[in-house]
């Protein structure tokens, strides 16, 4: 059955971004024993964002993809294992893993290609330095301050296994209204690196 939007109510516009898929179950292995309500992302949602486009239309996203897919980027490997909380500084909601090795490789690629991809979509150009990471779990918006503090304390005291991930693809992702049940994102376009 199709989702019906009440008259006068706009459909949500999905967010688009270009990223490196990192669908490795080993990235989620360290979440064993995580306190509720911290919830792991689906393995197929794991990625490193290269260029966030935001709520652009499909044509703009495809222009960005044309710019991104014209790039020659060799495959590379990263070793993850450093936890980081991301999101609002006072209420971070995303638990990510940062690379222990290979960070300069991916952040250099992100620095070189992010602005041309965003410009092709007419999206705002990010002024923050690239931050290589894979979000592995999220707290719900309704998480209490106590639940948030418990999750943060657990992540700091937890021993995170180092996991090596081969990055071999670049993809155009869409999130929000365009996802399937159990997933946050959908890959709209993809290409092999090399």
pLDDT tens profile 10-42: 556 789 999 999 999 999 999 999 999 999 999
Position 11 scores a pLDDT of 59
pLDDT band of 5, cuts 50, 70, 90: very low
**Residue 48 · residue 19 · CB < 8 Å:** yes
Give the chain's mean pLDDT. Answer: 92
Is residue 50 over pLDDT 90? yes
pLDDT confidence band for 3 (50 / 70 / 90):
very low
> Nearest CA to 68 among 106, 21, 115?
115
Q: Enter the pTM of the model.
A: 0.90
pLDDT band at 178 (very low <50, low <70, confident <90, very high): low
pLDDT grade, residue 92 (50/70/90)? Answer: very high
pLDDT of 2 over the 90 cut: no
Q: In this predicted model, what pLDDT tens digit does every residue of 94-106 receive, in sequence order?
A: 999 999 988 998 9
Question: How large is the greatest C-alpha to C-alpha distance in the chain, in angstroms?
Answer: 52
pLDDT reported for residue 177: 64
**DSSP 8-state code for residue 29:** G
Can you read off the two tokens belonging to residue 133? 């990471």
- Mean predicted confidence (pLDDT) in 56-78: 96
Mean pLDDT of the region 154-177: 93
Per the structure block, which two tokens stand in for 183? 């997933």
CA distance 82 to 73: 25
């Amino acid at each position: 059955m199709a989702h019906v939007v009440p008259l006068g109510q706009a459909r949500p516009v999905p967010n688009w971004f270009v990223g490196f898929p990192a669908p490795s179950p080993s990235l989620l292995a360290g979440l064993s024993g995580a306190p509720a309500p911290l919830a792991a992302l689906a393995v197929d949602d794991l990625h490193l964002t290269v260029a966030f486009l935001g709520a652009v239309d499909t044509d703009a996203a495809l222009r960005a993809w044309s710019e991104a897919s014209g790039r020659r980027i060799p495959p590379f490997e990263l070793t993850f294992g450093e936890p980081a909380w991301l999101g609002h500084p006072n209420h971070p909601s995303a638990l990510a893993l940062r690379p222990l090795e290979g960070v300069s490789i991916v952040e250099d690629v992100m620095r070189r290609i992010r602005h041309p991809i965003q410009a092709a979509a007419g999206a705002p150009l990010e002024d923050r330095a690239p931050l290589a990471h894979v979000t592995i779990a999220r707290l719900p918006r309704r998480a209490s301050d106590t639940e948030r503090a418990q999750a943060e304390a657990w992540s700091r005291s937890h021993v995170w296994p180092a996991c090596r991930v081969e990055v071999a693809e670049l993809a155009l992702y869409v999130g929000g209204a365009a996802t399937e049940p159990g997933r946050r994102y959908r890959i709209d376009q993809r290409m092999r690196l090399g």
